[in-house]
A and B are shown apart, each in its own frame.
Chain A
Amino acid sequence: MSDINLLLVDDEKPFVETMTKRLEKRNYKVRSVFSGQEAIKVLGEDPQIEVVILDVKMPGMDGIDTLKEIRLKFPLVEAIMLTGHATVESAIQGMKLGAYDYLMKPCDMNELIAKVDQAATKKRAHEEKIVEARMRRITGERI
């Protein structure tokens, strides 16, 4: 699956840059930011984004806070958490808050792609259901 709109959030610039290049090479549309605040901003500007890859440990607004904000403002966007081992607990907390899944750094590219695809599929299925529901309501009203 390609043409998925991704947002990559991590404070480690070299990591973000390389990851972006590798994902773009695999035909994903990737936007990258280096903090939680920026991520919220970008999500507001760009409704195309379907999946957010979110580092848990960031200075300032960390992954969990960012996730809470995303779930609040953009409930349909799926999130995949990235974490070092020590923050597995916060990753689990993130999943409880509604993240799609989590991965431990350094992560395998194929694994990441698989998770991203699944998340995107889920998101799209969700959207379809919503559209369907709306349609039904509209048609129902008309009848």
Chain B
Amino acid sequence: MEELNHKPRSPYYRALLRRMVTVIIVVSFTPMILITWGLLYQFKTLYHEKVYAHLGEIVQKHRQNIDTFLEERLADVRFLATNFTFEQLADEAFLKQKLLALEAEHGSVFTDLGVIDEKGHQLAYAGPFKLEKANYESAEWFRKAILSQYYISDVFLGLRGSPHFIIAVRSETETMSFLLRATINFEAFNSLVENLRIGETGFAFILNRDGKFQTKPSIQITEEQARGYLKEYLLLKDKSHIAEEPDVSGKPVIHVSSLLKNGEWLMIFQQNASDVFHDFIRARLIALLISIVGGGAIIVTAYVISKRMVKIIAKTDDENRMMNQQVIETGKLASIGELAAGIAHEINNPVAIMVEEAGWIEDLLEEEEFKESKNLEELKRALTQINTQGKRCKGITHKLLSFARKTDSKIHNVEINTLIKEIVSISIQMAKYSNINIETELQEGLPYVEISPAEMQQVLLNLFNNAIYAMEKTGGTIKIGTKLSQLEKDTIVIIVEDNGPGIPESNLPRIFDPFFTTKPVGKGTGLGLSICYGIVQKMGGKIDVQSAVDVGTRFRIWIPFQKEGVQEPEDIKNV
């Protein structure tokens, strides 16, 4: 029995554990990963679309703003050029007055005004710089402006040495044409673009066709980088264009570009992707964290549950193995019982014959011819001895036969006291070796009970064996008593009591459990009392135990009887 613990088979259980954990993890993780991945992908697509649309709209609106701004300023200048004569405009006082009027209307958008003839000579000037009589003949903007009706220049430094751009409108008198020129305050224009700030890294700027900044970018980027955006000219017509590309440091950058000023300028908005998708990245991080924590929980749970189940399986396997062992043991006992019964029966007949023969000799000795024999007395003694020993043999075989009936679970009307006496006679020999007395205290005239005598025998033998085992070293007394129960109606109580070492309180609730034993490994199966419990339950009775350490143990068995059966049945009065 010692080999039956599951240590030697633990590789099997470890493999089982591994298989269970793997299956649980795969089954739980696959849908979780698929769902998480699918949702994130969908979310990402939608979010990107939304963000791009949003950025595109913002850029488009600003572009319109700027275009409107330029158009309005141009309209202002054209108004002056068309509504006033050359003579009026060439009058510096008048010009100053108009500049003041514009400033009053638009704030400091216009820096100065000037009137320039075909040759590039500035004829009149109103503004903060000393630019009277300046000659613009060689300036690039002048050459372009003189050729067209109106002209808006790129940003340049010019004579005054600070960035600005010019709106020029050509007007004609009968004899000559001249330009009315207005300078736009760079700061005022710049602020239009500078105001377009989104997040931490989003900003906008404007480039001309040569890649020169038309506004001052609020975050430093090199001309080199800026020039990289020029290829957008090729892609754009009038709508905005959105692209995501890594910048020089390799970080992905989103940029939105849009043409303005009739396609001469390019407005670019750029923002780091990490900034644009900040919310999305955070959501993804949370999802990832939840997945990791959830995954961890699944792994731990899978392991714990599997471990528990494998433990239960191992325990069940053990119990099954022990149960099989027990069944084999019981089978062995049963066949031994049958064998004993057979032998006892076979011996019975020869013994009967021997006793008969001895009786016959006794009969013959009564005849006259033997009366004088001097050995008559001796012969009679010998015959008596043969008779006595024959009866002893009869006793032994009868005991054997009654013991062998243990295998019989048929239900009979049983006189419980007779049964107890039989068992006491069997156990008393074993008890004697351990210096244990068995006392009986049987109430007379108890009604018959309908039980299997073999099973009742087994119950009492188990209790006796336990008591004898407990007092093996110390000796003691076993008391067995029967009486009518005072509490339960129509019930007989059997009390088996010893004054042995008792059962510790901690073990008491478990003593009827199968496989619970305090005997050394291999000595007890732990099934004795659980079998008793099962048998008594089957009889419709109950069994309980009271015990105190160093005082003793008392088992009580209640067996119900049939009320009609109180009278002794006629046919077994001599059993």
Knowing A84-B345, A85-B348, A86-B344 are in contact, say whether A109-B398 is a contact too (CB < 8 A).
Answer: no
Q: Name the contact of B353 in the complex, choosing from A12, A86, A102 (C-beta under 8 A).
A: A12
Report if A95 contacts B (CB, 8 A).
yes
Q: Mark A81-117, 1 if CB is under 8 A from B, else 0.
A: 0001110100010011000001011110100000000
Q: Which of A12, A22, A85 has most B Cβ within 10 Å?
A: A85
Knowing A84-B401, A85-B397, A86-B341 are in contact, say whether A15-B349 is a contact too (CB < 8 A).
Answer: yes
Report how many residues on chain B are interfacial, defined by Cβ distance under 8 Å: 28
Report if B360 contacts A (CB, 8 A).
yes
Report how far A99 CA is from B404 CA in the complex, Å.
27
B residues in contact with A2, CB < 8 Å: none
Residues of B at the A interface (CB closer than 8 Å) are 341, 344-345, 348-349, 351-357, 359-360, 363, 390-391, 394, 397-398, 401-402, 404-405, 571-572, 574-575
Q: Which of A15, A84, A95, A106 has most B Cβ within 10 Å?
A: A106
Report if A136 contacts B (CB, 8 A).
no
Contact, CB under 8 Å: B571 / A106: no
Report how far A22 CA is from B404 CA in the complex, Å.
33
A selection of 17 A-B contacts at a CB cut-off of 8 Å is A12-B349, A15-B352, A18-B356, A18-B359, A22-B356, A57-B345, A84-B349, A85-B344, A85-B402, A86-B404, A92-B571, A104-B394, A106-B354, A106-B355, A106-B390, A106-B394, A109-B359
In the complex, how many angstroms separate the beta carbon of A30 from the nearest chain B beta carbon? 13
Closest A-chain residue to B399, C-beta based?
A: A85
Closest B-chain residue to A102, C-beta based?
A: B574
A residues in contact with B349, CB < 8 Å: 12, 15, 84, 105
Report how far A115 CA is from B402 CA in the complex, Å.
25
Closest B-chain residue to A86, C-beta based?
A: B401
Closest B-chain residue to A83, C-beta based?
A: B348
13 A-B pairs besides A12-B349, A18-B353, A86-B341 with CB distance below 8 A are A14-B356, A18-B356, A18-B357, A84-B344, A84-B348, A84-B349, A85-B344, A85-B402, A86-B401, A86-B405, A95-B571, A104-B398, A106-B354
Report how far A14 CA is from B350 CA in the complex, Å.
9
* Interface size range on A against B: 20 to 34
Contact, CB under 8 Å: B572 / A92: yes
Contact, CB under 8 Å: A85 / B356: no
Closest A-chain residue to B366, C-beta based?
A: A25
A residues in contact with B353, CB < 8 Å: 12, 14-15, 18
A residues in contact with B391, CB < 8 Å: 106
Q: Name the contact of B356 in the complex, choosing from A19, A25, A57, A86 (C-beta under 8 A).
A: A19
Closest A-chain residue to B575, C-beta based?
A: A88
Report if A21 contacts B (CB, 8 A).
yes
B residues in contact with A25, CB < 8 Å: 363
Report how far A60 CA is from B345 CA in the complex, Å.
18
Tell me the chain A residues, 28-85 only, with Cβ under 8 Å from chain B. Answer: 57, 84-85
Report how far A96 CA is from B349 CA in the complex, Å.
25
Report how far A88 CA is from B363 CA in the complex, Å.
29
Q: Name the contact of B360 in the complex, choosing from A22, A92, A95, A104 (C-beta under 8 A).
A: A22
B residues in contact with A21, CB < 8 Å: 360, 363
In the complex, how many angstroms separate the beta carbon of A85 from the nearest chain B beta carbon? 4
In the complex, how many angstroms separate the beta carbon of B272 from the nearest chain A beta carbon? 102
Report how far A96 CA is from B356 CA in the complex, Å.
28
Q: Name the contact of A22 in the complex, choosing from B359, B405, B575 (C-beta under 8 A).
A: B359
Closest B-chain residue to A15, C-beta based?
A: B353
Report how far A109 CA is from B390 CA in the complex, Å.
14
In the complex, how many angstroms separate the beta carbon of A53 from the nearest chain B beta carbon? 13
A residues in contact with B398, CB < 8 Å: 85, 104
Report how far A85 CA is from B341 CA in the complex, Å.
10
Closest A-chain residue to B394, C-beta based?
A: A106
A residues in contact with B397, CB < 8 Å: 84-85
- 5 closest A-B pairs by beta carbon, nearest first, are A106-B352, A106-B355, A85-B401, A18-B356, A105-B352
Report how far A92 CA is from B573 CA in the complex, Å.
10
Report how far A57 CA is from B348 CA in the complex, Å.
12
Closest A-chain residue to B355, C-beta based?
A: A106
In the complex, how many angstroms separate the beta carbon of B347 from the nearest chain A beta carbon? 10
In the complex, how many angstroms separate the beta carbon of B267 from the nearest chain A beta carbon? 116
B residues in contact with A57, CB < 8 Å: 345
